[in-house]
Amino acid sequence: LAMAYLAWGLAQRWCPSSLQVISFPVVQLHLNRTAMRLSQKDFESAMNQVKLLKKDPGNEVKLKLYALYKQATEGPCNMPKPGVFDLINKAKWDAWNALGSLPKETARQNYVDLVSSLSSSLESSSQVEPGTDRKSTGYETLMVTSEDGITKIMLNRPTKKNALNVEMYHEIMHALKAASKDDSAITVLTGNGDYYSSGNDLTNFTDIPPGGVEEKAKNGAILLREFVGCFIDFPKPLIAMVNGPAVGISVTLLGLFDAVYASDRATFHTPFSHLGQSPEGCSSYTFPKIMSPAKATEMLVFGKKLTAGEACAQGLVTEVFPDSTFQKEVWTRLKAFAKLPPNAMRISKEIIRNREKEKLHAVNAEECSVLQGRWLSDECMNAVMNFLSRKSKL
């Protein structure tokens, strides 16, 4: 045990000969829009943060940290490949070499992101409540927990039916990025309270910046594109537990999940025309493929609300459970899934998703650009005003 601690301590100081390794990951990292903005100071502070971790994050994560650190400071792997029997150095070399020509700035950003996800999930600081060492605090609109190989992201504005305000969009993106790098095998999104989510928070439209409604619409489209992009690119199996009614963007995104389990209390409603808006979440592409163009039109154009049974019959939902046994049955199933070899699941998802990724990003960009225009239309503004002045509800 003393040796293990010594090794971990040395690993924190990035001494190449100290890392104890039993397995290694194939690390997949891609260019992050914010990479260029990352300062050397953030990177150094992340290095210091690693030293504060009280728990050993495991060899896989340490290898990732090692590889990112080397890439960020020295660039692509420049060491001769160690011999097959030099297991530790070979694993480290493999991890570093797997980063290929990843730019130094991106490696720095990924290092910082990884440390930040570890800090929130591994009781690194005083943020963590006693007895809940796997609970990630610091979110205003979410509850994020990780146990039994499952990271659960729970929308947590039950009094607002889990409507997605701007803060929640940002927090979901943060939680997904952290989940993509933590040691869980699968990730689950669900809602707290009686709703899964009532979709976009319509008060998002009220806070007008100095540049006016045009600037508001432009910023909204940028945020939406980045948000949906996180779902397109999410690398692990992503499962929705739809605990109650779902509206708008919380429905359209389901086409980007790998499985959707629903309570029989759930309904699925995309009233875009009623709101003077148009489809997002790649649903203009995924829904016709999933359920046929005519059925997709009924939902996306005419705003037909589906029951859980109907959504299942049309392929949007994987399986429906009685509300009384929904939580128990689905969690039992998810815990079994989470025991499957995580790398195999990732790779299988990747091979399915990769064929569609480029198309999905193009659809996302187009949908956001069309919506940017819709948000400035009288039809949309009237619908939002009607809801906010309590004149209408779905």
Ligand X SMILES: CCCCC/C=C/CC(=O)SCCNC(=O)CCNC(=O)[C@H](O)C(C)(C)COP(=O)(O)OP(=O)(O)OC[C@H]1O[C@@H](n2cnc3c(N)ncnc32)[C@H](O)[C@@H]1OP(=O)(O)O
Does 41 bind ligand X (CB under 6 A)? Our answer is: no
* Residue 14 interacting with ligand X (CB under 6 A): no
Question: Contact with ligand X (CB under 6 A): which of 90, 104, 135, 160?
Answer: 160
Q: How far apart are CA 233 and CA 256, in angstroms?
A: 10
Residue 70 or 265: which CB sits closer to ligand X? 265
Task: Name which of 199 and 235 has its Cβ closer to ligand X.
Answer: 199
Side-chain half-sphere exposure of 196, counting CA atoms within 13 A: 31
Q: Which stretch binds ligand X (CB under 6 A): 47-55, 58-66, 81-89, 159-167?
A: 159-167
Cα atoms found within 13 Å of the Cα of residue 83, Cβ hemisphere only: 2
Residues 300-339 that bind ligand X (CB under 6 A): none
Under the binding rule (CB under 6 A), the answer on residue 394 touching ligand X is: yes
Pairing of strands 259-263, 319-321: parallel
In 3D, which of 344, 337, 331 has the Cα closest to residue 152? 331
For the bound state, the minimum distance from the C-beta of residue 56 to ligand X, rounded and expressed in Å, comes to 39
Which structure tokens are listed for 150? Answer: 């499952």
C-beta atoms surrounding 151 within 10 Å? 28
- Reference 195, options 249, 265, 299; nearest CA is 265
User: What is d(CA 170, CA 185) in angstroms, rounded to the nearest whole number?
Assistant: 23
Number of residues that bind ligand X (CB under 6 A): 23
Choose the binding region for ligand X from 68-76, 161-169, 288-296, 332-340 (rule: CB under 6 A): 161-169
* Range in contact with ligand X (rule: CB under 6 A) among 12-20, 172-180, 181-189, 243-251: 243-251
Q: Which is nearer to ligand X, 220 or 235 (CB)?
A: 220
Q: How far is the CB of 280 from ligand X (least distance, A)?
A: 5
Nearer to ligand X, 119 or 204 (CB): 204
**Closest separation between CB of residue 158 and ligand X, Å?**
9
We find the least distance from the C-beta atom of residue 6 to ligand X, in angstroms, to be 49
Q: Which is nearer to ligand X, 88 or 230 (CB)?
A: 230
Taking the complex as a whole, the smallest distance from the CB of residue 270 to ligand X amounts, in Å, to: 7
Cβ–Cβ under 8 Å, residues 113 and 178:
yes
80's tokens? 């001769």
* Terminal-to-terminal C-alpha distance of the chain: 60
Q: How far is the CB of 215 from ligand X (least distance, A)?
A: 13
Q: Which residues pair with 307 in a beta bridge?
A: 267
Phi and psi dihedrals of 320, rounded to 5? Answer: -110, 140
Instruction: Name the closest residue to ligand X (Cβ).
Output: 248
DSSP E strand boundaries for the chain: 135-136, 142-147, 150-155, 186-191, 238-242, 246-247, 259-263, 267-269, 306-307, 319-321
Asked if 224 touches ligand X (CB under 6 A), the answer is yes
Cβ–Cβ < 8 Å for 26, 98: yes
Residue 340 or 370 with smaller CB distance to ligand X? 370
Q: How far is the CB of 272 from ligand X (least distance, A)?
A: 6
Instruction: Tell me whether residue 230 or residue 394 sits nearer to ligand X (CB atom).
Output: 394
355 sits near ligand X (criterion: CB under 6 A)? no
CA distance 394 to 218: 26
Under the binding rule (CB under 6 A), the answer on residue 283 touching ligand X is no
Cα–Cα separations (whole angstroms), residue 263 to 232, 257, 307, 330, 337: 25, 16, 10, 10, 19
Binding mask 188-217 for ligand X (x = CB under 6 A): ----------xxxxxxx-------------
Per rule CB under 6 A, is residue 248 in the interface with ligand X?
yes
Burial class (CB in 10 A: 0-12, 13-18, 19+), 316: buried
Asked if 284 touches ligand X (CB under 6 A), the answer is no
CB 226 within 8 A of CB 173: yes
Residue 163 contacts ligand X per CB under 6 A: yes
- DSSP-assigned states of every residue in 236-273: S-EEEEE-S-EETHHHHGGGGSSEEEEETT-EEE--TT
| Least Cβ distance, residue 195 to ligand X (angstroms) | 7
- Interface with ligand X includes 161 (CB under 6 A)? yes
Residue numbers at the binding site for ligand X (CB under 6 A): 160-161, 163, 169, 198-204, 220, 223-224, 247-249, 275, 277, 280, 387, 393-394
